[in-house]
Copies of this chain bind each other. A is one copy, B any other.
Amino acid sequence: MKLEVITVGTELLLGHTLDTNAVDLGRALAAAGVEVTRRTTVADRPAAVRDAVRDALARVAFVLTTGGLGPTSDDLTKTAVAELLGKRLLLDEAVLRRLEQRFRHLGRPMPAANRGQAEVPEGAVVLPNPRGTAPGLWLDDGNGRVVIMLPGVPAEMRGLLLEEVLPRLVARRAAAGEAPRVVLSRTVRTTGSPESAIAERVAPVESGLEPLTLAYLPGPAGVDLRLTAWGLDPEDAERRLAAAGERLREVLGTRCYGDEETDLAAVLLHQLRARGERLAVAESCTGGVLGSRLTAIPGASDTFVGGVIAYDDAVKTALLDVPAAMLAQQGAVSEAVVQAMAAGAQRRFGVAAALAVTGIAGPSGGTPEKPVGTVWVAARHGDRTRALQRIFPGARDEIRARSAQAALDLLRLALLES
């Protein structure tokens, strides 16, 4: 069951609005076994809407539009679609009564502009919209093609999708004797290795994952691997995804830190909590990013104690006991200093584990020996310290995000081995 989405909105083309409906539509339709094969965004212009719907109907049997159903002059989807399918617009008395009732309830007279919202293409099924003035419309062209029109307001779109559209799509499929076919995905998260190194590990098992597809999604947190089952029976999809996820975790070993939306900070806090150990941080170039990652996790307070943001070198000495002579001789971005920062945090906060970060986040401050992106991270646990140097790519924000992730991962790996 294939469907195309057409989003009507000049604001979206101009980049004034982020298209969050796309996320809701994509997830809900995929989970119901409807494959969205294309999404098209067009301006608030009758010809643009008409052409896009016509082109889509030439490719698939279901077209879902969002936007362009309101009372203002830039709302035109209904008219354009009715014209395309050769349907007249007729006043629907039931819709008109609901509209008038709605305005009475709000204690306001109904503006004349809203009367047009009660016009419906002949033969269309009206999908009641309790959240707004524009109902959804389900318009069958009589030749097995359907255009579904929904308002663009996110809450109204979502409500109509879940309550009116999905049940009808599923019923259609059942009536046609088609077994439900879903698109389901599972994500395996890795960090600390580049996309190409992950791909080399995965290559030997990749063909065995079929018919699932595998996508590599690199980002500052690492490389996520997304497995997707396309158009399978729901149980079959779940079984294959579970088995494929297991296979990936096997070949990836400790590179893999979790599934789906798992945050590495939550994984680390969980490891420490299981041991009854507590954590502190000492941050230079990340300047709070590492602490904010840890404290973003609800319930962090039983395990994360606090930290020192030692942005100025004098703070490294005063609050973390890093010797001034060491700073002068080795420089703030050095193995000796990052180790001293971690040890200082562990001692000052009286905790089992401490993380430290120092580096050059840029854009200035780089040298030929220590270019922008050079970062030292350290993880101290008990009486052992691990330290690691990296040269991260990207701009200031990305270097800081990657630094925090590397620090969290260093301690995760240390705890796995201890």
Contacts and interface: CB of A to CB of B under 8 A. Distances in A.
Contact of A185 (B14, B73, B300, B398): B14
Interface in A316-331: 318-319
Contacts of A12: 22, 26, 39
Nearest to A114: B196
Copies of chain A in the complex: 2
Interface in A345-403: 348-349, 361-364, 371, 391, 393-398, 400
A298 B16 contact: no
- Quick one: which of A26, A113, A196, A363 has the most chain B CB within 10 A? A196
A96 interface: no
B106 A391 contact: yes
A363 B185 CA distance: 28
Given A14-B27, A196-B114, A394-B155, A296 B37 contact: no
Interface stretch (A82-90, A239-247, A307-315): A307-315
A318 to B, nearest CB: 8
Contacts of A200: 111, 113
B214 A74 contact: yes
Nearest to A30: B14
Contacts of A25: 15
- Quick one: which of A55, A292, A314 has the most chain B CB within 10 A? A292
A161 to B, nearest CB: 12
A296 B391 contact: no
Interface string A281-292: 101011111111
A21 to B, nearest CB: 9
A285 B295 CA distance: 8
A306 B296 contact: no
Interface in A1-49: 10-20, 22-28, 30, 36-44, 48
A97 interface: no
Contact of A195 (B70, B293, B394): B70
A269 to B, nearest CB: 12
A236 B149 CA distance: 37
A304 interface: yes
Contacts of A44: 215
A167 to B, nearest CB: 19
Interface string A39-81: 1111110001000100100000000000000111110000000
Given A71-B195, A74-B215, 19 more contacts: A12-B22, A15-B30, A16-B226, A18-B18, A19-B22, A37-B48, A38-B48, A39-B40, A40-B41, A70-B218, A74-B214, A74-B216, A111-B200, A286-B295, A296-B396, A308-B308, A308-B319, A309-B309, A319-B348
24 contacts: A10-B215, A11-B217, A14-B185, A18-B20, A18-B23, A37-B42, A38-B41, A39-B40, A40-B40, A70-B218, A74-B213, A105-B391, A131-B394, A132-B393, A155-B395, A155-B398, A286-B292, A289-B295, A291-B309, A295-B309, A296-B397, A306-B312, A308-B308, A319-B348
